[in-house]
Structure 1
Amino acid sequence: MLKKIDKTAHYLAQNIDLLRCPLCHTSFHLDHYALICDNRHTYNISKKGVVNFLTIKPDTTHYTRKMFEPRRKLIQAGMYAPVLSEIQTMLTPGNLLDVGSGEGSFLELLDVAGHKFGFDIALDGVNMATDLTDMQAFFSLSDLTNLPFADQSMATVLNIFTPSNYREFNRVLGHGAQVIKVIPDRYYLQELRSAFGLPVDYDNRDVLAKFTENFPGLTQKEVKYEFELPKNLQQDFLSMSPLEWRISEADKLEIAKNPPKKATIHVQILQGYKS
């Protein structure tokens, strides 16, 4: 089995034309374990197989393994399987970019006739993503406002529960390519919100309006169901979301005595095409 650094180097050698330097926007060549652009800006592949394109420090305090590990367990247990099934029907041949890819499980569970790319600002997330050894993909630490991907290099930009930058999305999308964005709807994770004493109904109108502004011919699919939480994952459910950050440690201990037994998944899947 290839080491992670060698696996990434091989993948980048095949796809070097899909990247561009985030500093000067020129093309890269691969020199052993380094990406070097026409102006000699250099980005090394880490031992984990990740390239850091950020000009700021990556996030190592908020989105960490403490959250990503329970999230991975729940994703791989099928909590989002119906959502991913809908996304799968929307995918077209070509390269797929997962925006805010976290620990990589969503990207792993989707099949695409093209190459896979994921990025995040969370160091633990991208490092965990490279542990998914059966997946062929490239993960990086990248800035949403200045993506290290070439113009018109992607067929699909996937945006699941993460921020958007439609200027950059349109730049990297080929003609007629698409953005698939998944946003929470009113009752998303209502059991978790209720347990934490937070407002249960989620308002997605501003996010929806912004997507509609950029993709006026969008299609919209509502997906709503209940996922029965396996007993061994009920505690993980309490730790899988940033919602947990608002709760005191004392309250967490009390809630953990009687965790939710199910999770409501209620989302809108938005699909828009570059004109």
Structure 2
Amino acid sequence: MLKKIDKAATYLAQNLKALRCPICHNGFNIDKYALVCTSGHTYNLNKKGSINFLTTKADTTHYTRKMFEPRRKLIQAGMYAPVLAEIEKFVSDGNLLDVGTGEGSFLNQLDVKGGKFGFDIAKDGIQMASEYSELAAFFSLADLTNLPFADQSMTTVLNIFTPSNYKEFKRVLASSGQVIKVIPDRFYLQELRQAFGMKVAYDNQEVVDKFIDNFPNYSQTTVHYEFELPHHLQQDFLSMSPLEWQVSEQEKREVAKHPPQVATVHVQILQGKKS
């Protein structure tokens, strides 16, 4: 069985044209376990098969394994299965880039006929994503404002619950490419918000409007359902979201005595075409 670093090197060799150097924007060659651009900038594969393209420090403070592990458990338990099923209706054959991939579970569960690429700024997330031994994909630490992917190299840019950079998205998209953006709607995780004493309903219209400004040729789909939380994952639900950062340890302990038993998933899926 191939080591992860060998699998990644083979995957990169097959997909070199999809990458570019984030410093000089030239193409890459692969030299054993390293990408080397035509200007000599070198990026080494680590033993898990990922690369750090960042010129600044990775996030090791906010989005950590402590949050990603419960999120992974809930994704694997099917909490987002209807959302992913809807996304798959839009995904076209060709390369897919998962923006802010986190710990990689969304990308792992999507059936894509083409290359899979995921990046994040969170070090723990990319380390966990690289643990999916069965997943044929390339993961990297990268900057949203300076993507290490070539012009017109992606058919689909997937943007689930993460920030956007539409200038870079348009650059890496093929002429007939698309962005699929998933944003929370007003009742998303309302049980968690209610348990933490936060405002339940909120408005994301500004985010929708910005998307439409960049992709006037768009469609919008609402997905709204309740997911029954398995008993053994109810405590994980409390720590799967950045919402918990706003709550004291004492408040968390009180909520943990009677955790929510269902989770509302209420999202908008926006599909924007480049052409």
TM range (shorter): over 0.9
Query: Comparing 2-11 with 135-144, which one deviates more in the overlay?
Result: 2-11
Measure, in 1, the Cα distance between the counterparts of 2:2 and 2:199: 48
Equivalent residue, structure 1, for 2:232: 232
Cα contact 1:228–1:261 (8 A) shared by 2? yes
Matches for 1:1-275 after TM superposition, within 5 Å: 1-275=1-275
Shift of 1:141: 0.1
Q: What letter is aligned with 1:272?
A: G
Q: What letter is aligned with 1:143?
A: D
Q: What letter is aligned with 2:91?
A: L
Shift of 1:6: 1.0
Shift of 1:5: 1.1
Can you list the C-alpha shifts for 1:216-272, whole angstroms capped at 9, x where unaligned? 121000000000000000000000000010011111111100000000000000000
Measure, in 2, the Cα distance between the counterparts of 1:238 and 1:151: 40
Shift of 1:155: 0.3
Cα contact 1:28–1:35 (8 A) shared by 2? yes
Measure, in 2, the Cα distance between the counterparts of 1:217 and 1:150: 24
Question: Runs of 5+ in structure 2 lacking a partner?
Answer: none
Cα contact 1:184–1:202 (8 A) shared by 2? no
Shift of 1:160: 0.2
Aligned residue pairs, count? 275
Measure, in 1, the Cα distance between the counterparts of 2:212 and 2:245: 31
Measure, in 1, the Cα distance between the counterparts of 2:202 and 2:146: 30
Can you list the C-alpha shifts for 1:68-120, whole angstroms capped at 9, x where unaligned? 00000000000000000000111111000000000000001011110000000
Give the secondary structure class of the aligned counterpart of 2:224: strand
Cα contact 1:154–1:172 (8 A) shared by 2? yes
Shift of 1:190: 0.2
Q: What letter is aligned with 1:162?
A: T
Shift of 1:202: 2.2
State the Cα RMSD in Å: 0.6
Measure, in 2, the Cα distance between the counterparts of 1:260 and 1:217: 39
Measure, in 1, the Cα distance between the counterparts of 2:157 and 2:122: 19
Cα contact 1:95–1:114 (8 A) shared by 2? yes
Measure, in 2, the Cα distance between the counterparts of 1:20 and 1:202: 39
Shift of 1:121: 0.3
Measure, in 1, the Cα distance between the counterparts of 2:118 and 2:203: 27
Give the secondary structure class of the aligned counterpart of 2:192: helix
Question: Runs of 5+ in structure 1 lacking a partner?
Answer: none
Give the secondary structure class of the aligned counterpart of 1:72: helix
Shift of 1:140: 0.1
Cα contact 1:20–1:148 (8 A) shared by 2? yes
Q: What letter is aligned with 2:201?
A: D
Normalising by the residue count of structure 2, what TM-score does the alignment of the two structures yield? Answer: 0.99
Measure, in 1, the Cα distance between the counterparts of 2:196 and 2:47: 39
Measure, in 2, the Cα distance between the counterparts of 1:202 and 1:173: 31
Measure, in 1, the Cα distance between the counterparts of 2:41 and 2:136: 26
Normalising by the residue count of structure 1, what TM-score does the alignment of the two structures yield? Answer: 0.99
Give the secondary structure class of the aligned counterpart of 1:8: helix
Identity fraction in percent: 71
